[in-house]
Structure 1
C-alpha cells in the first residue's frame, strides 16, 4: 500500500471520512469509490473548469460602471472621460475580489454542509442580464446599480424561504418543460451575442445605422462615431483588428482543440494565452496603452500578487426605491425565476452525474441544505456587489474525475480563496480574451434545443419565441415573459375549444404534447416538516428505511421479508436514511433494486410526466 493509499485509508476511517461518507468510513450511506485523494484531484479539475468566471464576471459587471457617477445632463461625454474610466477600472478590481471571495465561500459551504461535489459562482447569463438589462452599460438600464444589488439581496432571502418550505421544487416543476429548455438555449444565444460585440467580446459584430447589426472587426479607434456613439467600421478597416484575430485563433480555435482532447482547464488556458500575447506594451493589441488608464492598469498588473479590498461595491444597497418600484419588482422576479431553474437544473444534473439521485423520490440527499447554501450565498454575494450566484455545470469536470462528496467542492472553494491574492493577474485579462469563452459557453448551452418538443406547436412556438427574443431584445426577462404568456394563451385556447366541442375538436397530434403536472415526486411538503408533524424530536435527521430479512444495523430489530420499518437515526448515523433490499447489504445491492419507503408511490400515469 502506497503513501497515498495509506492517507486515503486513514482519512476514510476518521471523523472526516464519516462526515463526508467516504468509501470505507463505515457510514451506512457511504459513497462507493470515493476517497480523499480523488476528491482533491476532482476539486482541482472543477476549479480549472470554473476559474474563467473570475475574469469574465468582473469584466461584464464593470461595464455597468457600478457606483461610478457621471452627470450626463451636464456633460454628455463624461462616460468617455479619464476619471470615469479610472473608476470603472477600480470597479473591475473590486469584482475580481468579490467574485473569487463569494465563489470560495459558496463552494466551501456547499461541500461542508450539503456534501455535494458542486462549485458555486456568479452565474453566466444572469450576470449578463444584470449588466446589460437591469443596470445597463454605464448605468443606462432600468435601475441604478445600488437598487439592482438590493433586489439580489432580497431574492436570496426569498430563495431561502422557498427552499426551507419545499416550494422551490414546486416552482421549478410548474414551468412547462419546453420553456425551461428554451430558457437555457436563449441565454446561450444571448451570451454568444455579447461575446461577438466590442464591450465584452471579440468585436466581430456591431450596431449599425441602416441595419440592426453588421460585420465589424476593426480597431476601436477606427470605428465610426456619430453623436458621441461608436457605431460601425469603415469598409476598408473591417476584419483588420489584430486583437480579434488573436482571440479567434488563440482563444477560440485553440480552446476548442483542447476541449476536444478533454484537456483540463482548456478554457482558462485559452484565456491566458490571449492575455499573455496582449500584455506586452507597445504592440497594436496591447491591453496597456500609454494612456492614464493604461498606465494605472499596468502599475496594478506589475504587483502580480496583491490583495485588493472591495472598496466601491461593498454593501451599497439602496432601500429608498422611489420611482424604481416596478422595475425593482420585475428584476427581482426574473432573478428569482432564472435562479430557481438554473440552480435546480444544475444540481439535479450534477447529482445524477455523480449517481446520488434517489430513484424513488427523484431527489438527492441534502437537497434542501444545498438550496439554502445557494440562497445565503446569493445574499452575501449581493453585499459584495456581484450578480446572483448559482451552481456551475462545470462541476461536471470534477465529477468526471471521480468527485462524489463535498470534499471536491471544498477543494474548489480553497482554490478560489487563493485566487483572491492574484487579483492583478485576473484584472489584466482583456475583453477579447474572454469573448470566445462566452461564445463557447453559449454553444454548450444551446445543445438543449434538440430536447425541445418541436412536434407539437403548443410547445414549439412558445419555446421558439423565448429563444428568439432573449438575444434580439437583449433581455432574458422579455424572452421569458413572452414565452410563458404565449404558452398559457395557446394551450388555454386549445383546452377551451376542446371543452366547448365536447372533445371533438382536438389538435391532430395532441398526443405528442409534453405532459405537464404541478405534482412532484415525494410531495410538496419537505420531509423535515413531515417528521416534525409526526412528533419526531430530531426531525432534522432523515428516517432510515429498512426492508427485508437481515437488514439490521447494530442492535436494531430485523424485519421479516418484505417488511418495511422506519428506524430512527441515532448518534452513530447522523445523516441520511438506510435502505436495504431483500436482505442484501448495500455493497451487494444493485442500483436497479426497487426500494420501498413509507411515502406512498407517486402517480406517474401516461398523462402525468415529470422532468
Structure 2
C-alpha cells in the first residue's frame, strides 16, 4: 500500500485514506438516487430506472477505482450533475419538435464525444483549456450550471411550474385584435404532497449543512424519505419488486444501447458538437477545481502531468459511462470532502469506488426515495455551485459582462452550451477591444479565438437549438 500509493511521501496513512474515501462516498452517494430519477424523468424519457441505477453505480465504481490506481489521485467520478439534466432536457424538448431525440441517440452522442475527449487529451489540446479560459469564466460556468440544476430541481419538485398565459392587446385604428402568448413561472401548490416533501427535504438538508454534518445531502434525502413514508408517499412495493432486485441483475443493463442510424438522421454533427461542447467545459472546470482543493498545483510540470492523466481517465469515463447506459461520467467536486478529511492519494479514490460497487446491492432501498426528495437535493447542489460567484470580479467589465452572459443564458435558455458560448464570445470581443484601447493586460489565448469562431459558425449554420 505504502509503496504503490506513496503514502509516506504524501504524509498520510492507510486509515486516513480509507476514512477519506468513505467521506467522499457519503457526500456524493446521493447520485445513486438522483441520476436514475433525472434520466428517467418520471418515465418521460423512456430510460429504465433500474438500468440507470446499475449504470450509475458501475460507472462511479469502475472509473473511480481507475482514477485511484492509474493516477494516484484522490478524486471520484460519477455521472455528472448538470450534464445529466441537460441530457434529459434535450430528449424531452425534442418531443415538441416532431423529430424525437431518443435516449439511445443521446448515449451515442455521449460515446462519440468521449472519443473526441480522448483525442483532445492525448494531443494536449484539452489541457490547454486550463490556461486558455480565464478564471472568471471558469467560475461563471460553475455558477450557471448551478442555476440550471436548481431550476431542474424546482420543476421536478413541483415548487416551480411553467405555464402559458395569453395577453389580449386592445385594437388600435384598423388593427385587429392580436393575441400574444408568454411563458410565465408560478409557484407550485403547497397542497401538493410532492411540494410539501420537497420543502421538508430542503429544510432538512439545509439544517444538516448548517450543522456541518458530513454527508448532509445523503442523510437529508434519507430523512425526507422517512417523513414521506409517514405521509404515505412512499411505494413500499419496491422492496419486493422484480424491477428492483436486491442482487444485481446485469442482464437489465442497457449496455451498448446506441442508435447510429437515428443520430445520423437527426444531425450527428450538431448533436455531438453540442454534447462535446457542454461536457468539455463542465468537466475540465470541475477537474481543475478539485485538483486545487487537493493541493495539486496545476501550473507545475508535475501537476500538469498528473492532471493530464486524470483527464485521460475522465475522458475514457465519458465513453465508458455511455456504454454502460448513463450520461456523461466525470469527476466530482464533492471529492474535496475526502481531501478535507486528509485524503491525498489514490487509495482514497479506490475506497470510494469500492463503496459504489457495493451499492449495487441497495437498489430496492434507493427506489423507495421519492422524486421530490431528490429534487430537493438538486436545489441544494445548485446552492453549492453558486459559491463560485464570489470569485468573479463584476466590477472588471471585461470579465463581469461575459461572466454574466454565461450565468444568465444557461438557466434562462435552458441550455448549458448557450451560456458557455455567449461567455466566450463576449470575452474575446471585449478583451480584444480593451487591449487595442491601450489596456493590454487581458490575455486572449489563440484557442479562445478558435472557440469564438466555432461558436459563431455553430449559431449561423446550425442554429440555437440542441
TM-score class normalised by the smaller sequence: 0.7 to 0.9
Within the candidate set 471, 481, 489, 2:411 is matched to 471
Change in CA separation of 1:246 and 1:62 when aligned onto 2, cut-off 3 Å: closer
Partner of 2:92: 136
Partner of 1:324: 266
Pair 1:36 & 2:21 matched? no
Within the candidate set 188, 195, 206, 2:161 is matched to 206
Structure 1 residue 432, shift from structure 2 partner: 0.5
SS at the partner of 2:152? Answer: helix
Partner of 1:248: 199
Partner of 1:19: 4
1:187-586 maps to which residues of 2 (within 5 A)? 187-197=145-155, 200=156, 202-210=157-165, 212-218=183-189, 239-249=190-200, 251-279=201-229, 283=231, 286-288=233-235, 297=238, 299-300=240-241, 305-309=246-250, 311=252, 313-320=254-261, 321-325=263-267, 328-357=268-297, 360-361=300-301, 363-364=303-304, 366-493=306-433, 498=436, 510=439, 514-517=442-445
Deviation digits for residues 13-48 of structure 1, max 9, x if unmatched? xxx21110011xxxxxx212x110111111000000
Within the candidate set 3, 28, 35, 1:57 is matched to 35
Change in CA separation of 1:347 and 1:302 when aligned onto 2, cut-off 3 Å: closer
Structure 1 residue 246, shift from structure 2 partner: 3.1
Structure 2: gaps spanning 5 or more residues: 166-181, 448-466
Q: How high is the TM-score relative to the length of structure 2?
A: 0.84
Change in CA separation of 1:122 and 1:169 when aligned onto 2, cut-off 3 Å: same
Change in CA separation of 1:467 and 1:396 when aligned onto 2, cut-off 3 Å: same
Structure 1 residue 359, shift from structure 2 partner: 6.2
Q: Which has the higher helix share?
A: 2
Pair 1:121 & 2:71 matched? no
Structure 1: gaps spanning 5 or more residues: 1-15, 24-29, 69-87, 219-238, 289-293, 499-504, 520-611
Deviation digits for residues 562-585 of structure 1, max 9, x if unmatched? xxxxxxxxxxxxxxxxxxxxxxxx
Change in CA separation of 1:458 and 1:131 when aligned onto 2, cut-off 3 Å: same
Q: Check whether the contact 2:127–2:308 (CA below 8 A) recurs between aligned residues.
A: no
Q: Check whether the contact 1:306–1:424 (CA below 8 A) recurs between aligned residues.
A: no
Structure 2 distance, partners of 1:92, 1:279, is 20
- The alignment covers a number of residue pairs equal to 429
Structure 1 residue 465, shift from structure 2 partner: 1.7
Q: Check whether the contact 1:196–1:439 (CA below 8 A) recurs between aligned residues.
A: yes
SS at the partner of 1:421? Answer: helix
Q: Check whether the contact 2:114–2:316 (CA below 8 A) recurs between aligned residues.
A: yes
Structure 1 residue 471, shift from structure 2 partner: 0.8
Q: Check whether the contact 1:353–1:399 (CA below 8 A) recurs between aligned residues.
A: yes
Structure 1 residue 358, shift from structure 2 partner: 6.5
SS at the partner of 2:303? Answer: coil
Structure 1 residue 494, shift from structure 2 partner: 5.1
SS at the partner of 2:256? Answer: coil
Change in CA separation of 1:286 and 1:435 when aligned onto 2, cut-off 3 Å: same
SS at the partner of 1:390? Answer: strand
CA RMSD in angstroms comes to 2.7
Q: How high is the TM-score relative to the length of structure 1?
A: 0.65
Change in CA separation of 1:514 and 1:125 when aligned onto 2, cut-off 3 Å: farther
Within the candidate set 157, 165, 174, 2:115 is matched to 157
Partner of 1:111: 68
Pair 1:181 & 2:139 matched? yes
Structure 2 distance, partners of 1:261, 1:304, is 35
Partner of 1:225: none
Change in CA separation of 1:360 and 1:214 when aligned onto 2, cut-off 3 Å: closer
Structure 2 distance, partners of 1:64, 1:157, is 30
Pair 1:169 & 2:147 matched? no
Q: Highest Rg: 1 or 2?
A: 1
Change in CA separation of 1:428 and 1:310 when aligned onto 2, cut-off 3 Å: farther
Structure 1 residue 364, shift from structure 2 partner: 4.9
